[in-house]
């Protein structure tokens, strides 16, 4: 997905959930000690354990900006793009993959993934960023991801490849856990921007291996699914370790973990948008 907080001179990562560059970190602990320690840990950890394709996001942003500017002159809304992209991806994955049309399914899913990246660019240009858009974007991403691996698992099961079908389902569950770990950490006021395989990397590996398999390349789908299972597991572990270390740092500073949102935001009954980017 693309960022709602992009600027014309400094493109940001492609996510509607990413904060503005230079925006102050939220103070979720009294005195700010907890937030400062967690932010410092997250920054250091991200430098050495960041997602593999993060460096490409600014270039994709520049590439998509002209299309976003053209769409900004139409009645199309960012949320409409998000919903359309997810519906197209789900339809393609659950219709083409189970029937063995792996290459066609990959092309359809890739098209709608790229189209869906326009939502954040359009939101930035129209000035319609908000918590609802970020929530809708992240939630529908999970549905699209699940459709891809569910479709592959159905086809693998129908063709007698039971072990690989289980691996595909494992990738589905592991991807959900990776995203949940980040969302839960952000709900506690922690940054969790670590992990070598975020959503972009997972989709790239899964769709590329499926497409090549559809073209007749042997063993590539098995290699891709096993690799993805390992990378998703490693990423989940990295996020658990990062959050554990951050909470221990907070406890050492004399702050109580798990109390984010119980300050001013908790008293007013409102919550802040998630701080993380692509999940």
Q: Which residues carry out catalysis?
A: 141
Do residues 133 and 4 lie in contact, with contact meaning Cβ atoms separated by under 8 Å? Answer: yes
Side-chain-facing half-sphere of 119: CA atoms under 13 Å? 29
How far, in Å, CA of 27 to CA of 41, rounded? 15
State the Cα angle at 154 between 150 and 159, rounded to 5°: 150
Q: What is the 3-state secondary structure (H, E, C) of 119-184?
A: HHHHHHHHCCCCHHHHHHHHHHHHHHHHHHHHHHHHHHHHCCCHHHHHHHHHHHHHHHHHHHHHHH
User: Terminus-to-terminus CA distance in the chain, angstroms?
Assistant: 10
Q: 201: Cβ–Cβ under 8 A, 6 or more apart, which residues?
A: 51, 52, 53, 231
Residue written as tokens 């609802």? 132
Give the closest residue to 62 by CA, choosing from 105, 19, 124, 17. 124
3-state class of 219 per DSSP? coil
Do residues 83 and 228 lie in contact, with contact meaning Cβ atoms separated by under 8 Å? Answer: no
């Amino acid at each position: 997905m693309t960022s709602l907080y992009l600027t014309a001179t400094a493109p940001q990562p492609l996510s509607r959930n990413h904060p503005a560059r230079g925006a102050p970190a939220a103070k979720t602990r009294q005195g700010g000690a907890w937030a400062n320690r967690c932010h410092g840990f997250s920054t250091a950890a991200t430098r050495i354990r960041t997602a593999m394709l993060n460096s490409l996001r600014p270039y994709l942003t520049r590439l998509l900006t002209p299309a976003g500017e053209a769409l900004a002159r139409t009645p199309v809304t960012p949320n409409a793009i998000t919903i359309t992209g997810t519906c197209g991806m789900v339809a393609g994955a659950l219709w083409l993959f189970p029937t063995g049309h792996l290459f066609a399914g990959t092309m359809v899913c890739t098209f709608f993934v790229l189209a869906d990246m326009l939502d954040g660019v359009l939101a930035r240009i129209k000035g319609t960023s908000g918590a609802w858009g970020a929530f809708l974007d992240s939630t529908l991403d999970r549905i699209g991801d699940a459709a891809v691996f569910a479709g592959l698992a159905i086809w693998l099961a129908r063709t007698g490849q039971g072990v690989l079908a289980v691996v595909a389902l494992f990738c589905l569950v592991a991807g959900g856990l990776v995203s949940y770990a980040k969302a839960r950490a952000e709900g506690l006021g922690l940054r969790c921007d670590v992990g070598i395989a975020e959503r972009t990397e997972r989709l790239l590996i899964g769709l590329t291996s499926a497409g090549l398999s559809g073209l007749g390349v042997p063993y590539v789908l098995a290699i891709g699914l096993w690799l993805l299972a390992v990378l998703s597991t490693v990423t989940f572990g990295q996020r658990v370790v990062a959050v554990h270390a951050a909470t221990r740092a907070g406890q050492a500073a004399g702050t109580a973990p798990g109390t984010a949102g119980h300050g001013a935001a908790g008293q007013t009954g409102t919550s802040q948008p998630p701080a993380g980017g692509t999940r």
